[in-house]
Amino acid sequence: MPAHPHPSVRVALRSPALAAGVAAWLRDFGFAVTEGEEADVLVVDDAWLADPGALAAELEGAAGVVALGSRAWVGTLRDLAPGGWASLGTDATPAELLAGVLAAAAGLAALPPEDMPAAPDESEDPDPGGVTLTPRERDVLSLLAEGLSNKRAARELGVSESTVKFHVQAVYSKLGVQSRAGAVARGVHLGLISV
């Protein structure tokens, strides 16, 4: 039997009507919606976010979490789900829900456009949280965001694979992460790259 093309999702919303609607949307998009078992992405509401301990236990084994409700919980999401998360209002459109689930499953962070920080003025030199990457490290980070392997990135940049590995480790160190997904998520968060 072929693998399911989308991540599995568990909907854990306190409102049965909202839970049924969200589950129906996700099924329409082709997601496997699970009941009470582990899933790649967990969809929760404010009640879960108010109890970080319970949420942390529920997130074990999940790649990410999508929170529907008040978007005041972004800090909690960032702390509890460093692998990937999305914060959406209960009025999120089906397209926003789809984007949120896919982003969370991919280890990225997602917010609605109205909650995105303003882009820095082109004339200003943006301060990416005190993180300074060399031009080559920025190139490597961009290629990580595109999903290229070290070997393909080396070919793209015209350098050896060991040189790319060196730059990847430097990027991890400067961004304080331990994985490609973490580097991309942190790079997006700091405005070093856009996806």
Q: Are residues 38 and 94 in the same domain?
A: yes
Q: Are residues 19 and 70 in the same domain?
A: yes
Record the pTM: 0.55
Domain range holding 165?
Answer: 135-189
3 occurs within a structural domain: no
Q: Are residues 12 and 106 in the same domain?
A: yes
**Which of 142, 160, 143 lies closest to 151 in space, CA to CA?**
160
Instruction: Identify any residues that bridge with 66 across adjacent strands, giving them in sequence order.
Output: 43, 86
Residue 52's CB: how many other CB atoms inside 10 A?
15
- Could you list the pLDDT tens digit for every one of the 195 residues in the chain? 344 467 888 888 888 898 898 899 899 888 889 887 778 888 888 777 677 676 666 666 667 888 888 766 666 666 666 678 888 887 888 888 888 888 888 888 787 666 555 554 444 444 556 788 888 998 999 888 888 888 988 898 998 888 889 888 988 888 888 888 888 888 888 888 876
145 occurs within a structural domain: yes
Tell me how long the chain is.
195
| d(C-alpha 7, C-alpha 52), whole Å | 23
173 occurs within a structural domain: yes
Q: Are residues 107 and 73 in the same domain?
A: yes
